[in-house]
Amino acid sequence: MNVTKMVIAACAAFLMLVGANTWAGDLLKPYVLASSGPGDVAKVTDEVKAKLTGAGFEVVGSYSPFEGSNILVVTNDELKKAAASSKRGGYLAGMRVTVTKQYGNGKGAAFNPADAQIQVAFTNPVYWAAAYRVSADVSAVKSKLAATLGAKEEYGSFYGFKDGISADALKGYHYTVMMEYFDDPSDLGEHDSHEEAVKAVEAGLAAHAGGTSQVYRIDIPGTDETVFGVAMTNGCSGDETTMKAVDMGPVHNTGYAPYEILVTGKNVEALYARFRIAIAYLGLPMMANPTGGTFMNIMCAPGAIEGAMLSVTGQD
């Protein structure tokens, strides 16, 4: 993208952001901060995991993308049922519960590590259902997570979306002109059957193709969809690289990771990064943000992430 195109895209994004909050409906944000306070990441993670399993959630995977962070991926019957209700709804099946030691204040000011808080947060199921165009009501899942872990505030959206976005707007969201929507995923290949497609993805992840590894696998009941959580560690595709470059808030968007690969029927796909990163960091500016990250900081990420995903299925 040359400078002229970047400026045009940034202007378009600004106009889109200004108008976003005029769309009807209750406003949503990507994450819910459950608690924040002193503590130890490992100890708090164990406590959170015990609470989740006690509340009936299944912990299907865990992942630490950088030091001082733990991500627990959870599901339950309600999430699987909601995922099964919509074509390509498998992306919704795994919610992230994160434990993060604060590493910045998001305001451009000096940060004293001695003041770091341990932040427990979870992905907002209602927000992500809308982002993945799943119409099923998952508010009960959100309520159960809140009752289990706490709910201090919703967060994770910035600038023109600082108050959030409506479900209707989110279902039709893309970052700006000429950038991808939910239904513009990366095509990672077609196989002879669903089973062969799943085996191909598992084999690629087991081989750590493109610097990837498997965090979780969820088979969506009653469908031919299987979703994989994918950890990425290489260069521009790396989760830590992306998150540390764009995380703007004093409360961290650790639930961005892990990325997903979806097997739907015989086909394998992954959401394109200009959509997937944008919904995880709603309102992230294109450029010129002196107090935080921008998409310009990760210009290489979309192509690198797609390349890593193609490596998994041997399509690179």
Strands of the chain, DSSP E: 27-28, 31-37, 58-63, 69-75, 95-101, 118-123, 153-155, 165-166, 186-190, 212-219, 225-232, 259-264, 267-270
Mean pLDDT, residues 117-146 = 98
State residue 179's pLDDT score.
94
Return the DSSP state at 207.
T
- What pLDDT, in 10s, does the model give residues 208-229? 999 999 999 999 999 999 999 9
The answer to whether 21 touches 27, Cβ cutoff 8 Å, is yes
Q: How confident is the model at residue 292 (pLDDT cuts 50, 70, 90)?
A: low
Least confident of 1-5, 49-53, 112-116: 1-5
Mean pLDDT, residues 300-315 = 96
Mean pLDDT, residues 64-70 = 97
Mean pLDDT, residues 102-121 = 84
- What pLDDT, in 10s, does the model give residues 167-197? 999 999 999 999 999 999 999 999 999 999 9
